[in-house]
Amino acid sequence: MKRKIWAVCLVLAAAAAAFLVLLRPGAPSGSAVLRLDGKAAETPLRLSEGADGLRVHITLDGTEIADLPFGEAHTVQVLQGSGDENTVLLTGSSVLMQHANCEGQDCVNMEEINRDNLETRVMSGMIICLPHRLSVEVR
Lowest average pLDDT, out of 47-51, 60-64, 114-118, goes to 47-51
pLDDT of 101-120, one tens digit each?
Answer: 999 999 999 999 999 999 99
Mean pLDDT computed over 8-30: 48
pTM: 0.79
**Rounded to a whole number, what is the distance in angstroms from the first to the last CA of the chain?**
25
Domains of the chain: 2-138 (2.60.320.10)
User: From CA 43, how far away is CA 10, in angstroms rounded?
Assistant: 30
- Which residues on neighbouring strands pair with residue 134, listed in sequence order? 60, 129
Q: Which residues have C-beta within 8 Å of that of residue 137, sequence separation ≥ 6?
A: 56, 57, 59, 125, 126, 127
